[in-house]
Chain A
Amino acid sequence: MRVLPALCLLLVGTACHAEAPQQIIQTYAADAAARQPGFTPSAKRGETLFRQHFAHNDKMPACTSCHTDSPLNAGQHAVTGKAIRPLAVAVNGERFADPAKVEKWFGRNCKEVVGRACTPGEKADFVAYMSAVR
């Protein structure tokens, strides 16, 4: 009988892990819908954002500058050369698991690459793409 609570905890733990990207998408999507009624996250728009070139930073004009053309691949920092683990949830379960970490990196990378803060809608789309890409 003592096994049962432990088993429940284990199941809840697993479920939380798998649901984290979805929860992060939902939080950003709700934020986006408040500004733009009817907003629904789109993995396709997320992919467009991932591949878009911005005229802000010539060393890293796009997400792909460090993360390569496929989020399934390991990347390399465009300036320092440090290896970067893949962005896609399918191959890196640690991605998009911690909302604070996700927000921190959107903060840094949008400012550096896009040249402005990303909108909640863009963030929802981006995480949707990273969760869906196989």
Chain B
Amino acid sequence: MKRIVLSLLLGTALPALADRLPLPADTPASYPAECGSCHLAYPPALLAGGDWQRIMAGLDDHFATDTAVDTQKRQEITAFLERHAGNAGKLGNAGDPPRISTTARFVRKHREVPAKLWHDPRVKSAANCEACHRGATEGRYSEHDIAIPELKR
């Protein structure tokens, strides 16, 4: 009986856990300060370590913008991202340059989003997590808390 209750509990808890991606407790202040102004300070688990390394090595041309930071901050942020990076096998290839939105995990999770909504003025780009995921800043990505009415479920 205990085992059934436990598996039931796990069954309801696990999907909820997958929607929770808060920034880790050891996030350096430089991460949101340097990487969270133009876009959300993305959860490090959404890219593999090697991809974060490539991103951090190319900040002087980061999606056509010079976002270079000083050496100390770059090392601190890179170490943090690698420490909490996701599993490359589970995420899938992020492309070149690496993009979270290219990974198979991201594509699978967003397969119900109609193509035209990505370019909707309310959304603008796949980089804009908060446009739909109201709680993204706090790491909440539940599909039951979506700001776009057409996507409500």
Taking the nearest CB of chain A, how far is it from the CB of B12, in angstroms?
A: 33
**Contact partner, A82, options B65, B66, B128, Cβ 8 Å:** B128
* Count of interface residues, chain B, beta-carbon cutoff 8 Å: 15
- Tell whether, in the assembled complex, residue A80 and residue B130 are in contact, meaning their CB atoms are under 8 Å apart: no
B123 proximity list for chain A (CB < 8 A): 81
Complex: chain A residue closest to B39, CB-CB? A80
A112 proximity list for chain B (CB < 8 A): 65-66
- Tell whether, in the assembled complex, residue B39 and residue A82 are in contact, meaning their CB atoms are under 8 Å apart: yes
Kindly state whether residue B110 has any CB partner on chain A within 8 Å: no
- Is chain B's binding surface mostly helix, strand, loop or mixed? loop
Convert B27-69 into 0s and 1s, putting 1 for each residue whose CB lies closer than 8 angstroms to a CB of A.
Answer: 0000000000111100000000000000000000001011100
Jot down 28 A-B pairs with beta carbons below 8 A, ordered by A: A76-B124, A77-B38, A77-B39, A77-B124, A79-B38, A79-B63, A79-B124, A79-B125, A80-B38, A80-B39, A80-B124, A80-B125, A80-B128, A81-B123, A81-B124, A81-B127, A81-B128, A81-B131, A82-B37, A82-B38, A82-B40, A82-B127, A82-B128, A83-B130, A108-B65, A108-B66, A108-B67, A112-B66
Chain B residues at the A interface, C-beta cutoff of 8 Å: 37-40, 63, 65-67, 123-125, 127-128, 130-131
Known: A77-B124, A82-B130. 12 other contacts (CB 8 A): A76-B124, A77-B38, A77-B39, A80-B38, A80-B124, A80-B128, A81-B123, A82-B128, A108-B65, A111-B66, A112-B65, A112-B66
